[in-house]
Structure 1
Amino acid sequence: MMSIRKRVGIIGAGPAGLLLSYLLSLEGIDSLVLESRSRAEVESTIRAGVLEQGTVDLLKKIGLGERMEREGAVHQGIELRFDGSGHRINFHELANGRGITLYAQHEVLKDLIAARLKQEEQPILFNVENVQIAEITSDQPHIHFQHEHEQKELECDFVAGCDGFHGVSRAVIPEQGHHIFSRSYPFGWLGILIQAPPSSKELIYSYHERGFALISTRSPTLQRMYIQCDPLDDIANWSDELILEELQARLESKDQWQLQVGPITQKGIVAMRSFVIEPMQHGRLFLAGDAAHIVPPTGAKGMNLAIADVRHLARAFARFYQQQQTDLLETYSTTCLRRVWRAEHFSWWMTSMLHRFPDDDAFQQRLQRAQLEYTVSSRAASTSLAENYVGLPFTW
């Protein structure tokens, strides 16, 4: 068996794993990223790409913002639409000049992979199979895996589990001493990519009696759109024509707004859930990103939480290796969970306010309307939405 020695073993080449590896390299700390997919698969998997102001600032600070600044779309607000009227939440005015940048997750991953490969030879192993984590409660954990038909072992000081909700990392954490918080929502999102010009300058979140709808964007010629649906529905039941008709109906507007249409290049249905594990660490295994927490996509927090996690984790590792102090490692979970639960609440709040629930009655609908009307008419409520959407400071 071939043996490899690195200070930090990282499982998963998503935003959390790749950014952690890059941040560690800037501190002179060696690591190795193990990824089950190919590089092409990682770089082509389409995910949402709403970047908080703090995420944008961090990527710029570490030298990864050039293409994002050139190709990303900066938005200074969103629109809440209900009863045929649109109401703009002005981020720039309400959140001290902060905004969001729309830059797809797979583009962030391309930038991270390219930058990491420039730093050293083979810092990422793709197409890794049969990953097994062992001895995480010792001071010498190790990871067994297969790569290019060869059995290998990675010896390390720490393991970072950045391999998502269905990865192997969280599975090795014992139930005893940990708490799982989970909620499944009785609806999903049917998402499409469509070749068309933008239908709006900013994102539109629409509350409608037929269900929620969202207008987003990817580029001047490629748009991302969503409608609420049954999470167990078959995508085959949704023709392109039906999807576009439903979008137009749920986004109806008194100002005669029209959906910009074109060929639909991708469509699929995803379920929605909230999930948190506490604490986010066990022994020398530290979870980050979707391996530790899931939020419904309504609040656009998933990738941003992952980036906040590994920012803290990289600082903790740097403190350990440079100053021989463990305080940041010991408080990693507590520090991250404060932000995680704020994001969980915001995402739940946005989801509950904008979606139609299967057991909705007139009382529930009146509550949602009252919340929407208050949010768009009260500066305090609008400010709360704006501050949470653009992202709280990393020091929060």
Structure 2
Amino acid sequence: MLPYFYSRFAALGSTLFACLFLLQGATAHARDGVPVTVVEARRMPIFRQVPLTGTVTSLRNARLSPATSGLVQALNVDAGSRVVAGDVLLALDAELAALQLESAQARAEQLRNALQDARRRLSEARELIPQRSIAETAVRDLEAEVAEDEAALRQAQAEAGYQGALLERHKLRAPFDGVVSARLTDLGEWVAPGQAVLELVATDTVRLDFPVAEDFLPAIERGGEVRYSLNASPGETHTGTVATVVPVTDPGARTFLLRVEPGAGAPLLKPGMSVRATLALPADREGLVVPRDATLRYPDGRTVVWTVHSRDGELRVVENLVEPGLQFDGMVEIRAGLEPGTRVVVEGNESLQAGQAVRIRATASRR
């Protein structure tokens, strides 16, 4: 019976010792104060943020058409195929064009031989002139014949060149590097100039297009920064610059087109991707601001900021009911309820109580 009593007593003693140790730690923690991080409220220019939703578009997007009529004989690509400038994408039946080229080249060769013969006879005739063995009129006729043969040869060569170019135009080549976004024809179909057969999109040069309400047009400047993120990776934020503004693109909707360059270090962007952005526009005024982490919003609509004040040699917190204004770049405008230079709590403010003692563990740097 005694060993059991001693073991129970020892266990109770250990529990009491642990409680005393925790109570001592809690008392010391209360004496030192709750650790918090603070920053000074300050005045700065106020910006308003405009959320935008847009699309990644390509600088070059072409609907390709053949330069001549013909029957589709070869189709070397499909939607999604990546091509390089100069690649043959589509070929038409070129049998008749090849025969016409062969005929034109044969005609040019025939005239070339005739010209050589005419030049030979003219050269021989000129050698007989000093001997008065040939009439001058005959020499002039030979000169005219050579000139006519030269003109005929040039015409035949031009015709052969035309037929060669026409034969080459039976092949549709990629005008730039890109990806085939759509195939609009198939083998055996008859196509004609002006009829789109393929759509090609360049992927190496893209831009971000956003429709923006006309009210913001006067405040947007070329070269201004725009922060954006892709729906495919919403947690990553990137910075682009305003490239150009098209004032009127949709008169009915009263919107204009804002085009943004992705900027250096941009992620892999593909035409058609959805993108979200935030446009920061100056509000033409200064105001008192605090970091967003310094504000606590309650379900009843109140917004509170905790501030640190020295009282009786100790640092204690005070709850301040504030009137928030615009939010921008991680900051919140405070229209009423705070004074510039006041130290506000940005970390450790979730469970504070009015008048509670605190200790400053760090002072957040100003942005």
TM-score (norm. length: structure 1): 0.18
Q: Write 1 or 2 for the structure with the bigger share of strand.
A: 2
Larger radius of gyration: 2
> Which structure has the higher relative contact order (CA within 8 Å, separation 6+)?
2
Structure with the bigger percentage of helix: 1
